[in-house]
Amino acid sequence: MHEMGIGEKGLETAKKHKREGNKPNLRNEGQKVIMQVENLSKTYTQGKIPVHALRCACITVRKGELLAIMGPSGSGKSTLLALIGTLEKATEGKIILDGTDLTSVPEKLLPGVRREKIGFIFQHYNLIPTLSALENVELAMRFSGVPKKERKERAKALLDDLGLGDRLNHKPTELSGGEQQRVSIARALANRPALILADEPTGEVDSKTRDSIVRTFKELSEKGQTILVVTHDPEVAKECSRVLRITDGVIKDY
Ligand SMILES: Nc1ncnc2c1ncn2[C@@H]1O[C@H](COP(=O)(O)OP(=O)(O)OP(=O)(O)O)[C@@H](O)[C@H]1O
Ligand SMILES: [Mg+2]
């Protein structure tokens, strides 16, 4: 692992640790803890046989970390993201994100909390085919109380930043895979979430596009955006500030 992508403050601490002969800081030490996962477990019951998809996971994530989650198929990666993303209920344990205990939010309030705190990026982009790039990003803000004019301005600025300023009115089918993924990144950022969750975001693109998506993630993390990315690709993981490995539902953090 190297030191890129940990933000200026993290880099300074890393240099200090190096001078002092300590382990270099790759975990944004000195940055605030944005998420604390405590003893998180998920057991699915299929008929009579329980499947322990996640066992007693403990993870501390600091603001601005770009964190990779790797592990074989069926090891529990998507389960972990689904729990953090409040799409599934934990069997046991806690998830404190940005001061809110996600595991104790009443069902009725979950959509609002999810919208406000978490941005999702999927392998297959999940854009709405009948809407333009601009409208896809705007839509994410429609139920968040952002006034219409601001929605449009924010969507345009995000797409501009991601190099899609001249693709605002293109529909998803009129965009390349990499461009569609960029629109979905803009959509994930629209509500200024505390955390972005990405499940295999580079699974469908060529290596050049993959590299540009990873570069975008690194730039965002350097600006303080926290990102968790599930990936099978060592080239993606090696650009991250930390890698969590998961096997049979058990997480190893190093
Ligand atoms: N809804 C469900 N009901 C029962 N078992 C499930 C359910 N969802 C997942 N599982 C099981 O939980 C385990 C973890 O699945 P998960 O989808 O988290 O794996 P993964 O690491 O994301 O795999 P992949 O790399 O193939 O996407 C698997 O054994 C899976 O069969
Ligand atoms: Mg999965």
pTM over 0.75: yes
Among 132, 148, 142, which residue's Cα sits nearest to residue 112?
142
Q: Which sequence spans correspond to the domains of the chain?
A: 65-77+108-253
| 50 close to ligand 1 (CB < 6 Angstrom) | no
Say which residue, 94 or 253, is predicted with more confidence. 94
Dist CA 145 CA 142 (whole Å): 7
Question: Looking at domain 65-77+108-253, what is its CATH homologous superfamily?
Answer: P-loop containing nucleotide triphosphate hydrolases (3.40.50.300)
Distance from residue 1's CA to the centre of ligand 2 (Å): 24
Taking CA atoms only, the protein residue closest to ligand 1 atom 30 is: 74
Minimum mean pLDDT range among 10-19, 96-105, 168-177, 188-197: 10-19
Dist CA 89 CA 78 (whole Å): 13
For a ligand 1 pocket test, name from 78, 236, 250 the mutation site with the most ligand atoms within 8 angstroms of its C-beta.
Answer: 78
Confidence tier at 8 by pLDDT (50, 70, 90): very low
Looking from the CA of residue 232, the nearest atom of ligand 1 is 25
pLDDT digits (tens, 9 = 90+) for 119-145: 999 999 999 999 999 999 999 999 898
pLDDT for residue 152: 97
pLDDT digits (tens, 9 = 90+) for 162-215: 999 999 999 999 999 999 999 999 999 999 999 999 999 999 889 999 999 999
Average pLDDT over residues 108-113: 95
| 248 close to ligand 1 (CB < 6 Angstrom) | no
Classify burial at 122, counting beta carbons within 10 Å of its beta carbon; exposed 0-12, middle 13-18, buried 19 or more: middle
pLDDT score of 16 more than 90: no
Looking from the CA of residue 200, the nearest atom of ligand 1 is 27
Taking CA atoms only, the protein residue closest to ligand 1 atom 5 is: 44
Confidence tier at 222 by pLDDT (50, 70, 90): very high
Alpha-carbon torsion (68, 1, 97, 151), positive or negative: negative
pLDDT for residue 3: 36
